[in-house]
Amino acid sequence: MSTYSAEQLSTLEEIRQLKARYSYLLDTKQWDAWAQLFTEDFSWATENDLAVEGRDAFVQMVRGSVDAVATVHQFHAPVLEILSPTTATGLWPMFDYVAFGETPIQGYGYYHETYRREDDGWRISTQFLSRIRTDVIGGLSSGIQASISDLGIAREATAALPGKAS
């Protein structure tokens, strides 16, 4: 069992609050405030080799994809590790719902993140989304089509985090 200092506990809570703001600001489409949660050199990727470099490009991509649709992002029981006074990692179990027209989706998986403390607080500096399951739903009467992703992708992304997030 780890013993944390008051400063470390404060850091862990700041990162939890950062992630809570992430989902709230994203789901309520507050794009300018949401952009401030990321470092300027933010890097994002997901399986299937989809990647974006830079905070502005990432926010523009997400906004273009979900600005006009309802979304719900939930994060649960993170594994957080403080690497230094200015760096940390996080592994967040996730669920999301995105109401894409005739083919809304529900996703389950993990966000693999790194954080950097800047002058005005903690920011997300890298993010990899590994989906373990994605359900394409077309309304209650149409049933569910499920796809299961390779679990090796989530494991590799976790292993790539600096420090130990397993």
Residue 158's pLDDT is what? Answer: 76
18 found inside a domain: yes
Phi, psi of 73 (to 5 degrees): -120, 125
Phi, psi of 142 (to 5 degrees): -95, -5
Stretch (H or E) spanning 147: strand 144-148
The structural domain count of the chain equals 1
Q: What angle do CA 161, 96, 139 make, to 5 degrees?
A: 150
Answer for the pair 90, 78: CB distance below 8 angstroms, yes or no. Answer: yes
Residue 151's pLDDT is what? Answer: 66
102 found inside a domain: yes
Residue 101's pLDDT is what? Answer: 83
CATH number reported for the structural domain that contains residue 20 in this entry = 3.10.450.50
165 found inside a domain: no
Residue 166's pLDDT is what? Answer: 43
166 found inside a domain: no
More confident residue, 154 or 15: 15
Q: Which stretches within the chain are classed as H helix?
A: 6-27, 31-35, 55-66, 151-160
**Domain span including residue 108:** 6-160
151 found inside a domain: yes
